[in-house]
Amino acid sequence: MSLLPELLEILQPKQVEEDTFIGQNLNIGSLAVYGGQVLAQAIAVAGKSVPTTHGINSLHAYFLLWGDNDKEITFKVQNIRDGKSFCTRRVNAIQNGKIIFILAAQFHRKEDGLNHQVSMPNVARPESLTSFSDLFEELSAKLNIKPKGIYAKNSPIIFHPVEHENPFKPGIKPPLRHVWFKSNGALPNDQRIQESYLAYVSDFSLITTALLPHNVSLFSQPMKLASLDHAMWFHREINANDWMLYVIESPNASGSRGYCTGRMFDIHGNLVASVAQEGLIRLIDSKK
């Protein structure tokens, strides 16, 4: 059974005061709370006080501390401004009395205007590709571990990667990745929920793209990876019930940080969202 219903519930933190919400966590197999979850929850609570005529158009966020999977997260929302066309909100995510994440989000009343976009890359279609969960199942059998969360067949997201990578022999590859994805089950026809879901997906496979040119992976080299900041722009209506293509590039890695960008297209080639993130990539010398 898909974890999608559980995820959708978690992505709607419960309101306990006018500006305060409490959220739970979905453990996807990571040591800390998955960054995309906190991001999506913050978007959801930010939108609670925004008119339904306004959809999110941009966000900028910082991941400050690791989140504990076993402890709830408190979200505090601040109304920065309500204009005629734009509404701006700030959200602090708190655990153990400390701010672990901050978000600034802007919502825009729908308007008509100029319209252009880049073309979607011509890559293999999702139906012809093997799912990430099937690929990871083969890997986990070799490691004698049980797939969990996003890595398992009951993942709330179905991923079909275009490029296949051997994590034990990563090699040297261009810093470019194409991944098809869609929801593992039916998402409500609600753009607010679809926006949160898309933000949830956006943090997956992003910073690891910066590893591709360096013959290293999480399985071949001890390292510490962590999202540092995250920005996202929403361009067009979302339908994550159908296949979407995530195109991820890493233009730069330096100073123990990797910079990655992403573009999300729907099945018809419409550019739906753009993403940018910088993350920590700290290689650990196992001999020390």
The catalytic residue positions are: 203, 227, 277
| CA distance linking residue 182 with residue 59, whole number of Å | 22
The sheet carrying 86-95 orders its strands as 14-17, 20-23, 73-82, 86-95, 98-109, 54-63, 223-234, 271-283, 257-266, 244-254, 176-183, 157-161
Can you state the percent helix, strand and coil of the chain, rounding each to 5? Answer: 20, 40, 40
Burial of 284 (0-12, 13-18, 19+ CB in 10 A): exposed
3-class state of residue 141 by DSSP: helix
Reference 201, options 167, 248, 165; nearest CA is: 248
Q: Are 205 and 267 in contact (CB under 8 A)?
A: no
- Report the run of H or E that residue 53 belongs to, with start and end: none
Task: Name 211's Cβ contacts closer than 8 Å, sequence gap at least 6.
Answer: 170, 217, 258, 281
**What stretches of the chain adopt beta strand conformation (E)?**
14-17, 20-23, 54-63, 73-82, 86-95, 98-109, 157-161, 176-183, 223-234, 244-254, 257-266, 271-283
| CA distance linking residue 195 with residue 57, whole number of Å | 10
3-class state of residue 273 by DSSP: strand
